[in-house]
Every structure is written in structure tokens, then in C-alpha cells.
Amino acid sequence: MRFMTVTLSLLALSVTLGCGGRSNEGGLPDNQEQDSQGNPDLGDTQVPDEDLETPEDLPSTDLLPTDVPEDNTPPVDLVELQEVVDIADISDIEEIEEIAEIVDVTEVEEVDAEEVVDPGVCGYQDSVAGLLNCPEGDVDVWVKEAVVTYSYDKGFFVFDGSSTRGMEFYLPAGETPLPSAGDVVNCHVTKFASFKGQQEVTAVASCEKVGAADPFDSSLELVVGNLLPDEQYESRLVFGNGLTVVSLIGNDATVAYGSHPAVPMRLDAPGQLCAGAKFDLVRAVIRQYDDKHQIHVFVSAADILNVNTDECGETPVFDDSNWGFEEIGLDDPPSDFQKVTASFSANRDATVAHTGSASCKLTWTSDTNQDIYQGFYLPVSPGQTVTFSVWVLDQAPGGRVRQGMVFYKDDKSTDGAVNYSSTFSADSDQWVELVHTATAPEQGAYVRGIIRMYDEAPNFNGSAFVHIDDWGFTLQ
């Protein structure tokens, strides 16, 4: 910080002079005596005229300047002046001038300010917040005094209170021993990156345990807090009781709690869960995948407890028999399809069709992307060329759709990746065929098609719709 010495000006030096405006160089007048303290004894305030000195007895005025201009300077604030010097000790003009030279400082002394780092600078204060300011790539940053909130086989998550967010350390190579939940760590970060939108540390020079803390002290309660996963809570530890499974497709579930009817959840394994099941979530982490944030469960067997399947009902059997939407009966969604999100309807429409007598009308009422899946796991072989086609009638300017494919392993598990088409639907009065082609991965054993719905700003007014028909796959 900077320090300044305030310039003081000693005005009206006459405060030490007598009533006549000059000093008494000769001491006390002859007719005055001193008391025991050396002060003049003035006696009665009414002094007889005959005892006063005559003008002839006074010192000569020849020593006084004759050209002194009239002094209009306002009186000195003695209280203020006495904070600097004790005027009672000033005995002559020379002493006043000497003190004035000390007090009247015209130069400002500057002291170098303490170094202050802009909070927007990469690495500020060795924290998660500072790391988040860094460009992705190689970095040289510390994250200190961070509590490990969750640890799994490929990494761990930390929270240090410098941001509403946490940070994932994704370190699957095994070069660094992974800490445990509850450890307080100092980590020297050397690489910062992102995967599908999830920001993460991917390399460290060291990560040392320096203490211990309760990881749940900083956890977020989903149900009571009515918390919706989003960017501001990325990589935070969460928990909650009384969640309900809305849909379950492989490792991907949609759950409901509070006022949120469809929150995406990613599971390492579905375990006992089924559509309609209720459960308690002991712990999970909020992560981003593509354009959505989801609740991620790494160890379902330990993280999901008290599962109640009374409302699950029978597991539906899916095939490809209703890909033309001709079957009457089951609706929203039609037979052989599954809704992965809840802010849309999928209804058979017998008034509009590309072929046959009906199509499926998709109507969504949210600016959050909505997904409908085919229920059938279509068998494929690794390296096989897979083509997914669907006819679309897009007559609403407020929305559009595109295709995607999800590939699964033999056990119908998936890494969650969706292979999206680069082609979107466009407004038209005519049916248009959308075609998307992909290659089955090395461990690909099944594939399922998906239609994703998007709002189209600025025309989206809270609702949009399209018709789809003649869903199909060809394999080569």
C-alpha cells in the first residue's frame, strides 16, 4: 500500500508572541514577579493605570518591519497544530522555523505496494478457481488445500471452496497414487484439458496428502435443495433420498426428484434399478457430457441403496415391428420406443404420414434438448457400416431435430458416446429423408437409433414439433 506524509503549514507564528505582536526579549517587565513555577504573577486583573509601563519604557519599535501587509490569514486551528508540535515549547522564531522545516514536507514518500494478483489470472492463489482461468493444455499450476470428495479407479474429484465448482483429476495411467475421499491434498498440475465438455486435470507432477477432512461437509443435497445439475456445480459431490427412475436405457437413466421430472443420470451398472424404481443416492458427482450435465454414479452397488421396485412393472419387449408407427394402443411413446427425457410428448398421429396411415408427432416444450430412442438393440458386428434413416416433416420454425447412434458392447453397456449426424432438419412443407452413416466400433455388438430435439432461437416460443416416420437401419 502507499503511505503519504501530509504537508502541514504552520501559519500565524504569532501564537507565541505577546499582544503587541513581538517577542519579549528582555524577559518579564520590571514591575512583574514570577510565581514558583516561573510564570508571571499578574495579580488582580484590574491593574491601576499608574503601575502600567509608559510608552517611553517599552522597547523600540524600530526593529519591527514597517511594510508588513495586512494579515488576512485565518486563525490556525491550534488543536490540529498541536497534534504535530507542542507550541508551549517554542521560544523564538528560529525554533518555529526549524520545526516548520521538519513538518512542512513537500515530497511524498512512496512505498512499493504489495504484489496483488488479478483473480482472473491463471493459477491465482493456487486454487481450483485459478486453474479454471487457465487455457487448456500444458500448465504449471498448484491446487492446494483441496479436499478429495470422491475417488474412483481412474481418478478423483476435489473441492476447495474457491469456486462453486469442483475439479476432476482424471489420471488413469497409474503413474500417480490416487488419494482417498477425505484426504486434503496439494497437487502440482501440469496438464489441463476437457472431454465432452467436462473440464479435468489430466497430468500432475505430484499430489501430496497434507491433511484430512469430511468430504460431505461440502456436498450438495439434490432433493431437499431441489438442485439441478449444471455448469456452476460441475464436479461437485451430491446425494439425496427418494429419487425415482423415469426411464432406464442401458447405463443411462432419467430420474425425477423435487420439481425436476427428468434429470439425466449415468450409471456404471443399472443393478436393481428399473423404470419406476425409487432409491436413495448415497453419493455421486455432477459431470458434463456433451451439452448436458448429469449425475454420475461410479459404484452403483455402494452408491445406490434402499431400492424399491414395487412400481417397476414388467420389462417391455422391443423389436422393429413398429418403426412405421402403425400399431394402435401404446402411446407417448409409441410401442418399441423409449423417452429418455420428459419435456416432450411422442404420440401416434393418424392424420399425417409419409407412408402407411400414421406417423409419430414429437412436441417439446423445453429449450433443453430432448431425446427419443428406439427400444430395440439391433445386432451389429465390429467394423460394420451402419446406416440409420428416418423421414421428417419439419413445419415448425421454433425447432429442429437430428439423428444419432449409440453402440453397445456384448453386455449392452456403453461408454455413453452418441455418434451424431452433422445434418439437421429444416423447415419444409415436404417430407425429407435424413440419413446418417457410422462404423461399428471394435467392441460394437449392438446399435440403437436416437432422435434429438432442439429449440431454434429466436423462433422458439416455448413449444415446437416435427413428425417422423419410416425409421430404419441398413447394415453393410
Residues 242-278: pLDDT tens digits?
999 998 877 889 999 999 998 999 998 888 899 899 9
Low-confidence spans in the chain with pLDDT less than 50: 1-66, 68, 76, 78-91, 96, 99-100, 102-109, 111, 113
Tell me, what's the pLDDT at 69? 52
pTM above 0.75, yes or no: no
Sign of CA dihedral 317, 321, 325, 327: negative
Tell me, what's the pLDDT at 72? 55
Helix (H, G, I), strand (E, B) or coil at 376: coil
Q: 233 with 208: CB under 8 angstroms?
A: no
Domains in the chain, ordered, with CATH? Answer: 1-31+50-116 (no CATH), 124-216 (2.40.50.200), 223-308 (2.40.50.110), 337-475 (2.60.120.260)
Query: 182-217 burial string, b = 16+ CB within 10 Å, else e?
Result: bbbbbbbbeebeeeeebbbbbbbeebeeeeebebee
DSSP 74: P
Tell me, what's the pLDDT at 430? 96
